[in-house]
Structure formats: structure tokens, C-alpha cells
Amino acid sequence: MTFPAGQLSLLDSDPPVHQPSADTARLVLFNAQHASPDRSRRQAEWIAGQQDADIVVLTEVSSTQGGDALVTALTERGYATVIAPQPKTPDYRTVIACRTPDAQQVESPVTLTPHRAPAARVTIGGRDIGILGLYVPSRGPVERRNQAKKAFQSAVTEALPKLDSLFPGMPVIVAGDLNVIEPGHQPPHKVFGAWEYDFYDSFEKAGLTDAFRHLHPEENAHSWYGHSGNGFRFDHIHLTSSRTARILACGYRHEPRESGLSDHAVMTLHLRLTDPEESSKGQIRG
């Protein structure tokens, strides 16, 4: 099944195995690794079985049968809203799936290949949050080395400062496979140039904080491993810097990578949307 670019899929589905939280944004970042239809269905089964997978950002989703199978399987397993932009020409895309029907696609601020950068406003317990998913291209073939990657990164860098106006007053989560590592990454990888580290730094300049690094300033974590066994932290979640005090947890899970569902570790974020005193009083304030 193919969905036109930008359309929300709202197919009939079974009730979710787990109910979404009413006071916490619980997000899972999953690299689908251009899976076949069979592996896509197994990915959807694993995702739906995770209690905290209320919002799922899926990267490297194919635009053909495997990606369509993943979208269909997620709706069948209780994801009430699936944002699955379809590129005009064959390319990888990013998908956002939510257990709640209170989610709405908004126009992506990333103007170049926006199917790699869908955006959504999601309502949880009466509170809105903004979501931007990203899948940055890899280096590409020799004859076009880094061209698509540089162009997309430039478009994202230009878009990031626009998130405040796109999602006014809301916490904003940017989650994706950025195909870059942070400055000071261990082990160091000489293949990355200054322009790639500048891209990573552009998130902080736009008022976003690396959620994992905020909680774990010294931890040496990796989400993907090359043939030589060297690790790379390619998968990142950034959050509006003013909301970092509300991060409850952020980390990596390696079960899908180790079991062959993906070649990437899964990343998770739990973000409290209310202050403790608000929850105890049953109040909702802006």
C-alpha cells in the first residue's frame, strides 16, 4: 500500500497492546534499514510490544514494498496515526507513528527532500509537543560523494531556527539518524570533516540540546558498528534546551541490532510534560 506524499494513514487497526502515557512523551527512534516486507512486519511487532513506544520515529524506510509493509503493520498493531510521506522518486524516507490519534502532520520546515524530515504536532494529556524526524543521506556513490548529504544538512541547519515558530510554546523533539558523530567522539573517525561537526553543532546554536549527552556527559555510547567493529554514535535525539530538566531517561537499546531486526541500536527518550506539583494538583498550565 502506498500513501501519497504527506498523507496521514488512518487505517482500521487493533487496539494498541500498550496504552500511551498521559503525562510523559515516550519516544523510540528506530532505523528500519530498508527492510524487506517480512522483516518490516517483524520490526512492527517488536515496536508495538514496547511499552514506551508511544511515538516512533523510523528512519531509512524504503519507498517501496518494505516500507509500505511497515506502515501497514504499524497501523494494524494499534498505531492510530502514521505519517508516511512518499517521495516522488525512489528514496529513503522517515516515518512518524503515534499510538494516539491526537497527532497532526505539519508542513516540514526542511524544504529539500522533506520526505526525509516529516514534522508533527502530538497532543499528550492536553499538552502539545513538536516532533521532527530526520534521516540524513549517507556519503553516496563516488561520482556524487557527499553532495546529497551536504545539501540536506544545509537545509536542516536552515530549518532548525524555524521550529520555535512552527511549534510555538511547545517542547520540540528532533530525532533521527544524522549520519554524523559529535566532536570528541570516541573512537575518533578521520573520515568526518569540519562541515559535519558544524552540522552537529548547529542544533545547539538553534536552541536544542543533545538529550543523551545531557544525561550522560561522559558515557561512550555507539548506535552503529562498521565491518571493522568500530562504533559510531549516529542516532541522536535533540530537545528544546529550556526543557532538558524534564528529561527522565534517554539511552540506547541494542536488542534489535543484536537480533538482526536492524543494524542500528534503538534510541529512547522519556520526557515529563508536567511538573510534579502540577500532577499532584491535577492542573494543566501553559
pLDDT, tens digit, 9 for 90 and up, residues 255-268: 999 999 999 999 99
Residue 226 lies in a domain: yes
What percentage of the chain carries pLDDT values higher than 70?
90
Sign of CA dihedral 66, 67, 69, 70: positive
C-alpha cell recorded at residue 47? 515496536
Helix, strand, or coil here: 252? strand
Residue with the larger pLDDT of the pair 239 and 13: 239
What percentage of the chain carries pLDDT values higher than 90?
83
Residue 282 lies in a domain: no
Count of domains forming the chain: 1
- In this prediction, residues 65-88 reach a mean pLDDT of 96
Instruction: Write out pLDDT tens, residues 108-151.
Output: 999 999 999 999 999 999 999 999 999 999 976 777 778 999 99
Cβ burial 121-154 (10 Å sphere, 16+ → b, else e): bbebbebbbbbbbbbbbeeeeeeeeeebbbebbe
Nearest to 64 by CA among 8, 2, 109, 139: 2
- In this prediction, residues 90-97 reach a mean pLDDT of 97
- In this prediction, residues 75-79 reach a mean pLDDT of 96
Residue 82 and residue 96 in contact, taking contact as beta carbons nearer than 8 Å: yes
Q: Which CATH number do you get for residue 223?
A: 3.60.10.10
Position 184 pLDDT exceeds 60:
yes
Residue with the larger pLDDT of the pair 23 and 7: 23
Which residue range forms the structural domain that includes residue 58?
Answer: 8-277
Residue 131 lies in a domain: yes
Q: Which amino acid is at 246?
A: R
Instruction: Write out pLDDT tens, residues 24-55.
Output: 999 999 999 999 999 999 999 999 999 999 99
Residue 286 lies in a domain: no
The predicted structure's pLDDT at residue 13: 60
Residue with the larger pLDDT of the pair 99 and 12: 99
Position 277 pLDDT exceeds 80:
no
Alpha carbons within 13 angstroms on the beta-carbon side of residue 129 total 25
The predicted structure's pLDDT at residue 135: 98
Residue 2 lies in a domain: no
Residue 168 lies in a domain: yes
Residue 161 lies in a domain: yes
Residue 285 lies in a domain: no
Residue with the larger pLDDT of the pair 282 and 243: 243
The predicted structure's pLDDT at residue 191: 84
Helix, strand, or coil here: 59? strand
